[in-house]
Copies of this chain bind each other. A is one copy, B any other.
Amino acid sequence: MQSENNMAIEDNLDPHDWESMRELGHAMLDDMLDYLQGIRQQPAWQPIPPEAKAHFTSPVPWEAQDPGAIYQEFKRFVMPYPLGNTHPRFWGWLFGTGTVMGMYAEMLAAGMNTNGGDLDNHSAIHVETQVVNWLKEILGFPASASGLLTNGCSASNLNGLAVARFARAPWDLRQEGLQGDHPRLVLYASTEAHSSIRKAVELLGLGSEALRSIEVDAQYRIDLAALEAAIQHDRKDGLQPFCVVGSAGTVNTGAFDDLNALADLCKSQDLWLHVDGAFGAWAVLAPSLSHLASGLERADSLAFDLHKWMYMPYELGCVLVRDEGQHRHAFSYTPPYLAGSHSGRGLTGGDLPWFTDKTYELSRGFRALKAWMSLKEHGLSKYARLIEQNVQQAQYLAELIEADPGLELMAPAPLNVVCFRSVQPGLDEPALELLNQKILLALQEQGIAVLSSTRLAGRFALRVGNTNHRTRRADFDLLVREVKRLGDRLLRDLSD
C-alpha cells in the first residue's frame, strides 16, 4: 500500500498526454520534410530580424510551457533563420549538407539514448565497430588498425596527434607530461595546414612554437626540400622531431600534399605521419581523383569527417590509427567504478574493445547510427559518384571563370575548392578587395548563394567549397551570372 501511494504521487518527464505529443512529433516530421523537399525555393540565407533576436533574451523558464507552443516558437524564430548549409547554393566553409535518412537516424539514436562509451555488450557498440571497420577498409587501412568516431575533424586531429606524442616520446609521457627534463618535441605541417592542427598542438601543451610551418609550392603543397631541411636543422639544434602532418585537401584550395613522399620521408626519419583529410580523404572513392590521395593509406593516423563530404548530419568525424595498441596506450585508464569488464557476461561482458580506451571522453552518443544507415541507404558507389560530381561541378565553375575576362581564377582547383574574384579594369588591389567583399555580402543578403572568402598570397578571394549533394551545374551558371551582375552594379556604386 505504501508503495502504491508513492507510485501515485511520483512524477516523471514522459508526456502527460502521449497522443497529443505523438501528433506533435508527426507534425514536426512533416514540416521538416516539406522544408527539405522545398529547399530550392528557399533563400540560401536570410538575416535574423531584430524581433527574432530579441526573442532569445527571455528569462529562464521556471514553469512548464505547452509543447505545441514551444514548437510554434521554433517555427517562428529558429527554423526560418538557419545557417543555410542544406541549400543547393551553399558553398561556404566546406560545410555538409545533411540527408533525410541522416535526420531519421538522429531521431532513432536519441530515442534509444544510448551511451556508446565504456560498456560493450549492447548494439550501439557493434554498429560503431562495424562502421569503423568499413572505414578502415574504404581508406586502405589494415583490419588490425584502430578507429574511433568523433565529433569532427578537430577532435580527430587532436586524437591522432595525442597518440603520436605518446607513441614517439622516448619517456612515459602520460606520467611525466612535457614537464620533465627532455628534449623539446617538434612537429611539421605546411603553411596551408588547417588551424585545428595549431589548436591541437597548443592544447596538447606542445606550444605553437613546436609546430614548424613549412612553405608550400605553387600548387599549395608542402615543400619537401624545405621540410627535410627544417627537420635536419631542428635535430642539429637538439630538438626532437616526432611527427609530420600532411594535408589531404587543404581548406583554402583543396591541395593535396605529396603523401607518398611524406610517408617515405617519415619512414626514413622515423617520424609519425598524421594526415588531415577532413574532406579530401574522400577523394579515394572516386576513380578519377584517387591518385591525389595516394599515400593516405600509409599514414600512422588519419583524421577525416563524415559530416562534410559524406554529407551526413553534424557531428560526425573519425580518426584511424594504424597501431591499435598505441591508440589504446595513449588513452586507456579504467577507474574502479568501470572495472570488471570482459567477463563474457552482463552489460560489460562483451568482447569488443571499449571506445573510451581510445579517447579522453567517457560519455559518447550513438553517432554511429547515421553513418551505418546512410552507408547502407546509398551504397559507397553512389557516394563515389557524388564526390566525382562535386569535383566535376567545381571544374565546370573553374572553366566558366577562366572563360570570362571579368573573373579571375586565383589558385589551381584540383578538387572541389574554387577561389576566384571579380576583376574590373582600372581597379587597384584595395578597390578589388572592397568590390569582392561587397559581392560576397550581396550574394548572401539577397539569398542567392553562400560563399566564403580567404586570402591567397595576401589577396582577397571568393571561395567556393563544393561538398553539396544538392548542387547542380545550373547553380554555378547562376552564380557566375549573379557575381557579374553584382560586380557591375557595385562598381557603379563605388564610382558614384
Contact = CB atoms under 8 A, between A and B. Distances in A.
A32 B179 contact: no
A364 B199 CA distance: 15
A119 interface: yes
Interface in A303-343: 305, 307-308, 311, 313-315, 317, 331, 333-340, 343
Interface in A264-302: none
Interface in A98-131: 98-116, 118-119, 121-124, 126-127, 129-130
Contacts of A185: 179
A13 interface: yes
Given A6-B472, A25-B33, 20 more contacts: A3-B472, A7-B473, A11-B382, A13-B386, A29-B107, A63-B379, A64-B377, A79-B108, A98-B110, A106-B106, A151-B151, A151-B361, A152-B364, A154-B361, A162-B203, A175-B207, A177-B207, A179-B185, A199-B360, A314-B363
Contacts of A199: 331, 333, 360
A345 B445 contact: yes
A77 B307 contact: no
A60 B350 CA distance: 23
A140 interface: no
A73 B376 CA distance: 11
Top 10 A-B pairs, shortest CB-CB distance = A205-B205, A177-B207, A98-B113, A314-B365, A106-B110, A32-B111, A107-B107, A337-B454, A152-B363, A195-B335
A188 to B, nearest CB: 16
Interface in A186-210: 194-196, 198-210
A340 B437 contact: yes
Interface residues of A, number: 187
A381 B62 CA distance: 5
Interface string A69-94: 01001100111111111100000110
11 contacts: A3-B473, A10-B389, A28-B108, A56-B129, A83-B114, A85-B113, A162-B203, A175-B207, A176-B209, A179-B205, A205-B206
B347 A84 contact: yes
Contacts of A124: 78, 82-83
Interface stretch (A44-52, A226-234, A424-432): A44-52
A163 to B, nearest CB: 11
Contact of A450 (B153, B203, B333, B347): B347
Nearest to A365: B314
Given A78-B369, A83-B114, A106-B107, A154 B363 contact: yes
A441 interface: yes
B13 A469 contact: yes
A174 interface: yes
Interface string A7-26: 10011111100100110111
Contact of A205 (B98, B178, B343, B469): B178
A25 to B, nearest CB: 5
A489 to B, nearest CB: 17
A97 B121 contact: no
A445 to B, nearest CB: 6
B365 A196 contact: no
A170 to B, nearest CB: 15
A138 interface: yes
B86 A113 contact: yes
B360 A158 contact: yes
Interface string A235-268: 0000000000000000110000000000000000
Contacts of A404: none
A53 B370 CA distance: 19
Among A59, A60, A127, A440: residue with most chain B CB under 10 A? A60
A65 to B, nearest CB: 5
A455 interface: yes
A229 B151 CA distance: 41
Contact of A313 (B113, B137, B205): B113
A184 interface: yes
A347 B45 contact: yes
Given A107-B29, A113-B314, A440-B346, A204 B204 contact: yes
A380 interface: yes
